[in-house]
């Protein structure tokens, strides 16, 4: 029997660490940072639905699947190709990742009168987690610098746990301020990002939202698996939304990263940051 290979974009309970993820057993995760056009709505049953919209973005994960897995997910979503009364419709849509664009299956609500959430972009997993707890936080850029946090009188809200290592990502400078680049992480196979893991307070979380420009649409909150103290923990970090071509950061920003990270980051990793910045400055 020929196996048909497809891509599937998931944005709710099928995501990693969520209750229906086992329906994707055997699927290959292509990207855990993926997005497509659409507007999320909440359900009374603790799962989201997606409404067609060209004015909003939904974040989720992208998987490579075969025909058997697609049939199982159709069953979960009560979707039948010959049934016009489906609760969900399945369509092929363009899905973006850090590296490429894909055409993937996406499930949309077949409910024309549902009211959509008013957020311009949305990540159901982030919203759900933050409603339940204030999670651990992974800092990889200037937010490792305690001097800047102390200036903001927020140091009491950050309790350093130790070195965190994020696999499958690269740290780069893909967003710009007036004086140069600022740090970001992008998915990249066989790369790692080092940073500091913190226990944070609710007040510290609000400070991070303001500092990272979340409300202004600069960075977005996301959850990633970080190794800390010998085990992987799913924790909060912040990722640039509109990535640009990498640009060298200014001296003061590089100083903040190194000064903040030197207590925890390995010497090899700090040297790699210096090398990356030198290459960007040389063009």
> 212 catalytic, yes or no?
yes
Instruction: Say which residue the tokens 């499930």 belong to.
Output: 107
Question: Which one of 212, 227, 245, 256 is the catalytic residue?
Answer: 212
Contact by Cβ (8 Å): 80, 138: no
CA gap 232, 28 in Å, rounded:
20
Q: Which is it for strands 121-122 and 137-139: parallel, antiparallel or unpaired?
A: unpaired
Buried b (16+ CB within 10 A) or exposed e, 222-232: bbbebebeeee
Instruction: Say which residue the tokens 């549902």 belong to.
Output: 114
Contact by Cβ (8 Å): 15, 71: no
CA gap 153, 131 in Å, rounded:
25
Structure token pair of residue 177: 């301020």
For 216-245, the DSSP string reads TTSEEEEEEEEEETTEEEEEEEEEESS--S
For residue 214, which phi and psi values (nearest 5 degrees)? -60, -45
CA gap 105, 90 in Å, rounded:
6
Contact by Cβ (8 Å): 88, 80: no
What are the residue numbers of the active site?
A: 212
């Amino acid at each position: 029997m020929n196996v048909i290979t497809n891509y599937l974009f998931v944005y709710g309970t099928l995501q990693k660490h969520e209750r229906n993820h086992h329906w994707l057993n055997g699927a290959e995760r292509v990207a855990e940072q993926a997005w497509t056009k659409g507007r999320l709505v909440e359900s009374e049953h603790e799962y989201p639905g997606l409404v067609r919209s060209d004015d909003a973005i939904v974040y989720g994960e992208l998987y490579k699947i075969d025909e058997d897995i697609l049939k199982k997910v159709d069953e979960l979503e009560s979707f039948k190709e010959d049934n016009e009364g489906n609760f969900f419709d399945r369509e092929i849509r363009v899905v973006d990742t850090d590296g490429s664009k894909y055409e993937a299956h996406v499930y949309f609500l077949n409910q024309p009168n549902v009211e959509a959430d008013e957020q311009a972009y949305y990540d159901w997993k982030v919203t759900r987690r933050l409603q339940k707890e204030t999670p651990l936080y992974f800092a990889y850029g200037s937010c490792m610098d305690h001097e800047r946090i102390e200036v903001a009188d927020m140091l009491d809200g950050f309790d350093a746990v130790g070195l965190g290592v994020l696999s499958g990502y690269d740290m780069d400078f893909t967003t710009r301020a007036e004086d140069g680049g600022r740090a970001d992480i992008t998915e990249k196979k066989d790369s790692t990002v080092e940073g500091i893991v913190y226990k944070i307070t609710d007040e510290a979380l609000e400070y991070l939202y303001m500092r990272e420009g979340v409300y202004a649409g600069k960075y977005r909150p996301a959850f990633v698996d970080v190794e800390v103290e010998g085990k992987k923990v799913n924790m909060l970090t912040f990722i640039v939304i509109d990535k640009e071509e990498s640009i060298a950061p200014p001296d003061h920003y590089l100083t903040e990263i190194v000064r903040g990270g030197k207590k925890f980051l390995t010497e090899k990793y700090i040297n790699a940051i210096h090398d990356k910045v030198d290459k960007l400055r040389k063009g």
